[in-house]
């Protein structure tokens, strides 16, 4: 959200804004660790706003190549013309470059970051034969979800040790209620019910859920209620459905939900 005129809505959970700004001032790179849907993207948007830097976001994936980040030659009018990738644009403009879910990228993507993340702050572009010095204000931010890591997909130690780590989690109940109410545009009581459902699910153990209910799905449920669904219909579609495909687990979650949700409309 570069150039947005109002601060993106972000409520801090701990000292994360403090640490981020210190790293930024020192030209250090940042790795954000935290579960799905806890607000990592929104946090970076808020920091970019506060620090008055443009934000360039790249969603990482298996096929993201170095060329996708750095740039490539394209054929234009019979000639080849270099087109900067998002990382190169950020290096030239002094932007914050946010690589979302960086472990999804191939290792060549992360190794190309190394000279940017140590004292050199340089981006060598081998195909152009040039080495760019990062403009002041350039800051590299990557995120990943520690719960997903496997032997095959992990950040290399030589990459991790080049970054300052910030851990993000789900906010405390009162903060989360405020966020859900504001983001979904629903009243505080309904938001509080949804947060209690979310927290009950987060306390579950050994029921075969790979992930817990995130703040994001609570907001989605709130928005469905805002669009006229009953709380139970909304929670089933936005919270239970995304969490599991298993019929037994679904039944358990629905029962748990019913204990928390007042339902005055059409039964499911």
Site for a copy of itself in 193-232 (CB under 8 A): 210-211, 214, 216-217, 220, 223-224, 226-229
Alpha-carbon gap, residue 173 to 25, rounded angstroms: 32
Burial of 15 (0-12, 13-18, 19+ CB in 10 A): exposed
**Which whole-number Å values give the CA distances from 148 to 36, 108, 152, 162, in the listed order?**
10, 20, 11, 21
Q: How many residues bind a copy of itself (CB under 8 A)?
A: 96
**165 forms part of the interface with a copy of itself (CB under 8 A):** yes
Please choose, from the candidates 133, 155, 156, the residue with its C-alpha nearest in 3D space to the C-alpha of residue 144.
Answer: 155
| Contact pick of 37, 171, 198, 231 for a copy of itself (by CB under 8 A) | 37
| Binding to a copy of itself in span 79-138, by CB under 8 A | 79-80, 83-86, 89, 100-101, 104, 106-108, 111-112, 114-115, 118-120, 124, 126-127, 129
**Gap between the Cα atoms of 177 and 183, Å rounded:** 10
Nearest approach, Cβ of 145 to a copy of itself (angstroms)? Answer: 7
Residue 145 or residue 199: which is nearer to a copy of itself going by CB? 145
Residue 5 as a binder of a copy of itself (CB under 8 A): the answer is no
User: Which of 12, 167, 173, 262 contacts a copy of itself by CB under 8 A?
Assistant: 167
Among the listed residues 50, 54, 65, 182, the single contact to a copy of itself using CB under 8 A: 65
What is the nearest approach in angstroms of a copy of itself to the Cβ of residue 227?
4
Bridge-based pairing of strands 79-84 and 71-76 is: antiparallel
- For residues 127 and 79, the answer to whether their CB atoms sit within 8 Å is no
Six-digit token string for 128: 């152009």
Q: Name the one residue in this structure whose structure tokens are 């979800």.
A: 145
In whole angstroms, the minimum distance from the beta carbon of 188 to a copy of itself comes to: 19
28 binds a copy of itself (CB under 8 A): yes
Instruction: Find the shortest distance in angstroms from Cβ 257 to a copy of itself.
Output: 14
Q: How many CB atoms lie within 10 A of CB 261?
A: 21
């Amino acid at each position: 959200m570069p150039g947005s005129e109002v601060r993106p809505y972000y409520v801090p959970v701990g000292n994360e804004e403090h640490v981020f700004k210190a790293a930024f001032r020192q030209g250090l790179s940042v790795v954000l660790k935290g579960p799905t849907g806890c607000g990592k993207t929104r946090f970076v948007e808020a920091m970019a706003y506060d620090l008055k830097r443009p934000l360039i976001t790249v969603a990482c994936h298996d096929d993201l190549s170095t060329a996708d980040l750095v740039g490539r030659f394209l054929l234009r009018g019979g000639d080849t013309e270099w087109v900067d990738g998002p990382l190169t644009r950020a290096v030239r403009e002094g932007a914050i470059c946010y690589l979302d879910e960086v472990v999804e990228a191939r290792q060549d993507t992360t190794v190309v970051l190394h000279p940017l993340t140590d004292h050199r702050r340089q981006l060598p572009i081998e195909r152009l034969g040039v080495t760019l010095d990062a403009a002041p204000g350039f800051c590299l931010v990557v995120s990943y979800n520690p719960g997903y890591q496997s032997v095959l997909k992990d950040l290399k130690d030589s990459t991790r040790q080049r970054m300052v780590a910030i851990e993000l989690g789900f906010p405390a109940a009162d903060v989360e209620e405020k966020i859900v109410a504001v983001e979904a545009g629903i009243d505080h009581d309904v938001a509080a019910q949804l947060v209690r459902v979310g927290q009950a699910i987060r306390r579950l153990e050994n029921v075969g859920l790979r992930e817990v209910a995130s703040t994001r799905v609570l907001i989605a449920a709130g928005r469905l209620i805002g669009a006229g669904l009953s709380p139970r219909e909304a929670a089933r579609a936005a919270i239970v459905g995304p969490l599991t495909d298993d019929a037994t687990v679904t039944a358990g979650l629905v029962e748990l939900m019913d204990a928390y949700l007042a339902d005055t409309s059409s039964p499911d």
